[in-house]
Chain A
């Protein structure tokens, strides 16, 4: 299984789409946005824009990485017969989906870390060590529902549909969840949509942490709830995709 994981990571690192959307985009947008609004200070929390944007872009990057590294490659593998190639080896079925999950979790780390690094280097962002650990840790573990969503998409849809659906899902979650524009500036209808999305819960945990607050219980429960629901869905979809008639 370790070798399988290595293979999965290797192929994604060689994939241009992954590199562009997942690693380059968040860092570039962070640099752009933080130059524009980095010096603004949030009046209620007293947190600098550069820090809030760091959380938003890291969250976007991790969200993009989790969906992009799961949905499309998985749909392609099912479609191309690679999955069947694996199914006729001694590799057990559960190892395939577990490796996919672990690989995706490793693949979200570069965007999280690079956006953080860009923040430190270009905007002199500094946080207490505990906040760094809490932020990176929760943004990392919090990707589980998005990876589950990606695997569900990849299990249910053929590659040519999985691609646009994954893209729409990724940008939709990022946009409506307030990762690109603060939820506060949204019209009230969008605001109420945002608040039920896992991407909003996900990012808001990060925003609270950098403000020195404890994340809201509703956000934590929200993300855990989404993880359970989407996780069950992913397992169900995986079983359907690999069913032996």
Chain B
């Protein structure tokens, strides 16, 4: 069963297309990163999942229901990009209030422990630091024990240490069989904390797979050598090759499978290959290649 199903979802703000025909299924129990640059449509997609925004066209299902019904049933918890707390309430009061709105919440002490707030439970919200406030917001998102947790750039305001412990806490929550979708523009976060990365740019999915697959994918590796005066014809037909570029006497081919490409280069062509270089791409390269303006 799918926790989330986007089916041809488009969202326009006037002339601006924020999400462009998004189709995406996320099975129950997976942890998925929605990776993309600012303006890629990540927040718009998350707000549509919560029923806070309506798609211009297309259909969204959350556990088989529309977003509003999923929210009413208490299936979704979310940590949105912005949000502050009621200053006069203590951490415990806020968390307990939100958790009681859900039909099947987690025990209060467990929520506080999972968000590392046990020692701050009695403190008023207006006496919390920025990082502590983010932890409370995480606690509010998980308090109702939602089956689906949505996190929209949750670590944006955190320092390195808080980030690390935040992801530990998130993984602990995911380990209870919950589905998690988080938006980020940090490649490392997507790489380290998800079992699937969906790369979006300009409102569309441009790559979808594990971090390793995406690294190996579209623009994964380059193979280059000195071509001299020989013709480059036929190089684009070699296995794995997605693009061929020639600069002065050097040719560079992009490939998803450098082993097969190099093997074929020696066995299947008559080219005199000199000065061969192979570069592996990291996720950063893949990301830039995938999301650059075309």
Which residues of A does B touch, CB under 8 Å? 3-4, 7, 10-12, 14-15, 77, 80-82, 84-85, 87-92, 244-245
Is the Cβ of A82 less than 8 Å from the Cβ of B144? Answer: no
Which residues of B does A touch, CB under 8 Å? 50-54, 71-74, 76-78, 80, 82-86, 88-89, 93, 97-98, 100-103, 140, 144
Closest CB-CB distance, B102 to chain A, in whole Å?
6
Binding site of B, secondary structure by majority: helix, strand, loop or mixed?
A: loop
Minimum CB distance partner of A245 in chain B: B53
Q: List 7 A-B contacts (CB under 8 A).
A: A7-B86, A11-B88, A11-B89, A12-B88, A88-B52, A88-B78, A90-B71
Closest CB-CB distance, B80 to chain A, in whole Å?
6
Is the Cβ of B71 less than 8 Å from the Cβ of A244? Answer: no
Bound CA–CA A207/B52 (angstroms)? 48
Bound CA–CA A88/B85 (angstroms)? 15
Is the Cβ of B83 less than 8 Å from the Cβ of A81? Answer: yes
Bound CA–CA A82/B94 (angstroms)? 11
Is the Cβ of A82 less than 8 Å from the Cβ of B83? Answer: yes
Is the Cβ of A92 less than 8 Å from the Cβ of B72? Answer: yes
Closest CB-CB distance, B121 to chain A, in whole Å?
15
Q: What are the residues of chain B within 8 A of A82 when measuring CB–CB? A: 83-86
Among B50, B82, B86, B103, which residue has its beta carbon within 8 angstroms of that of A88? B50
Bound CA–CA A4/B86 (angstroms)? 13
Minimum CB distance partner of A8 in chain B: B86
Is the Cβ of B78 less than 8 Å from the Cβ of A244? Answer: no
Among A15, A84, A85, A245, which residue has its beta carbon within 8 angstroms of that of B88? A15
Is the Cβ of B54 less than 8 Å from the Cβ of A10? Answer: no
Report the tally of A-B residue pairs with Cβ distances under 8 A. Answer: 69
Given contacts A82-B83, A245-B53, whether A89 and B93 have CB atoms under 8 Å apart is: no
Bound CA–CA A11/B101 (angstroms)? 18
Bound CA–CA A88/B73 (angstroms)? 11
Closest CB-CB distance, A168 to chain B, in whole Å?
24
Q: What are the residues of chain B within 8 A of A77 when measuring CB–CB? A: 86
Bound CA–CA A244/B67 (angstroms)? 12
Closest CB-CB distance, A55 to chain B, in whole Å?
31
Among A4, A7, A90, which residue has its beta carbon within 8 angstroms of that of B73? A90
Q: What are the residues of chain A within 8 A of B53 when measuring CB–CB? A: 244-245
Is the Cβ of A85 less than 8 Å from the Cβ of B140? Answer: yes
3 pairs of A and B residues whose beta carbons are closest in the complex = A81-B83, A11-B88, A80-B84
Among A3, A14, A84, which residue has its beta carbon within 8 angstroms of that of B97? A3
Is the Cβ of B52 less than 8 Å from the Cβ of A87? Answer: yes
Given contacts A244-B51, A244-B53, whether A91 and B84 have CB atoms under 8 Å apart is: no
Name which of B52, B103, B144 has the most chain A CB atoms within 10 A of its CB.
B52
Among A4, A81, A89, A244, which residue has its beta carbon within 8 angstroms of that of B102? A89
Closest CB-CB distance, A137 to chain B, in whole Å?
30
Q: What are the residues of chain B within 8 A of A91 when measuring CB–CB? A: 101
Given contacts A3-B100, A245-B53, whether A88 and B88 have CB atoms under 8 Å apart is: no
Minimum CB distance partner of B49 in chain A: A88
Known: A81-B83, A88-B80, A89-B98. 18 other contacts (CB 8 A): A3-B97, A4-B101, A7-B93, A12-B88, A80-B84, A80-B85, A85-B80, A85-B83, A85-B140, A89-B71, A89-B74, A89-B101, A89-B102, A90-B71, A90-B72, A90-B74, A90-B144, A245-B54
Is the Cβ of A88 less than 8 Å from the Cβ of B97? Answer: no
Q: What are the residues of chain B within 8 A of A15 when measuring CB–CB? A: 88
Is the Cβ of A90 less than 8 Å from the Cβ of B103? Answer: yes
Is the Cβ of B54 less than 8 Å from the Cβ of A244? Answer: yes
Bound CA–CA A85/B133 (angstroms)? 14
Bound CA–CA A90/B73 (angstroms)? 6
Bound CA–CA A4/B99 (angstroms)? 11
Bound CA–CA A80/B77 (angstroms)? 18
